[in-house]
Amino acid sequence: MRRILYLLPLCLFALTGCFQADQSNQNKEASTNSTDYSGGNALIVYFSKPEMNGTDTVAGASRVVSENDEILGNVEQLANWISEDTNYPTARIETVETYPDDHDTLVDQATTERSSNFRPELKPLDANLADYNTIYIGYPIWWSDMPMAMYSFFETNDLSGKTIIPFSVHGGSGLAGTLESIERLASGATVESENVLSISRNDVPDAQSEVNDWLKSLGVN
């Protein structure tokens, strides 16, 4: 039964052509925050997996092409804009075994990892988390959850005492309960759960001003 429940979002994902329905408005809460994050030392940590086949984000592939023709994942694009606006450094969460570029193969692998509750081994992060008191954490929604690499990240790093500000990209599922997972995994950390940036991948190419507004609403930038 549990297995069927896990596989349900997977089937929906396959059938609906990757969540074209845009539920992003349900999760954009960028104007309600009352906490000011302008002080302190912040780092932007993110996981992102651009897909190399398909045409572009709007056509269903998970990637954007930057102004200088770089291929970026959607979350990577948001991380770069946050960094551009704030000068906070970025650090990418990377697995030792790289994920496939091809959409269908990636989907198959993510399915297997999720159903077996797998924890992919991570490369060392290119930053020292101890140097920062605020961590922006970006991730895509995979199977109405975080990718398993995010579980590896939270379970192998002590984030207690830090402030975590999540941001995410989805294909229709919104945040899908991931904030609750982060709160549970990052014990001892303060998780910003009122003012979280959650953007539909269809909107990512035009979302720079939304990112900027979100940062302003957090009191930074």
Q: Which residues bind ligand FMN (CB under 6 A)?
A: 9, 13, 18-19, 48-50, 62-63, 73-76, 106-107, 110, 140-144, 169-173, 201
Minimum CB distance to ligand FMN, residue 34 (Å): 28
User: Closer CB to ligand FMN, residue 80 or residue 195?
Assistant: 80
User: Closer CB to ligand FMN, residue 141 or residue 218?
Assistant: 141
In this structure, the chain runs to a length of 221
Q: Name every residue whose Cβ is closer than 8 Å to that of residue 93 and which is 6 or more positions away in sequence.
A: 45, 46, 47, 122, 125, 149, 150, 153
Which tokens in the block code for residue 217? 């609403």
Minimum CB distance to ligand FMN, residue 103 (Å): 7
Which tokens in the block code for residue 197? 């940036």
User: Closer CB to ligand FMN, residue 15 or residue 96?
Assistant: 15
Which tokens in the block code for residue 178? 């991931």
Residue 197: phi and psi, rounded to 5, are: -90, 115
Minimum CB distance to ligand FMN, residue 174 (Å): 7
Q: How far apart are the first and last CA of the chain?
A: 48
User: Closer CB to ligand FMN, residue 76 or residue 210?
Assistant: 76
Contact 176, 146 (CB under 8 A): no
CA–CA separation, 138 vs 93, rounded Å?
10
- DSSP strand pairing (64-65 vs 71-72): antiparallel
Minimum CB distance to ligand FMN, residue 147 (Å): 8
Torsion sign over Cα 200, 72, 99, 126: negative
Minimum CB distance to ligand FMN, residue 66 (Å): 13
User: Closer CB to ligand FMN, residue 53 or residue 160?
Assistant: 53
User: Closer CB to ligand FMN, residue 86 or residue 168?
Assistant: 168
Minimum CB distance to ligand FMN, residue 128 (Å): 24
Q: Nearest to residue 99, comparing CAs of 148, 29, 144?
A: 148
Q: What is the DSSP letter of 188?
A: T
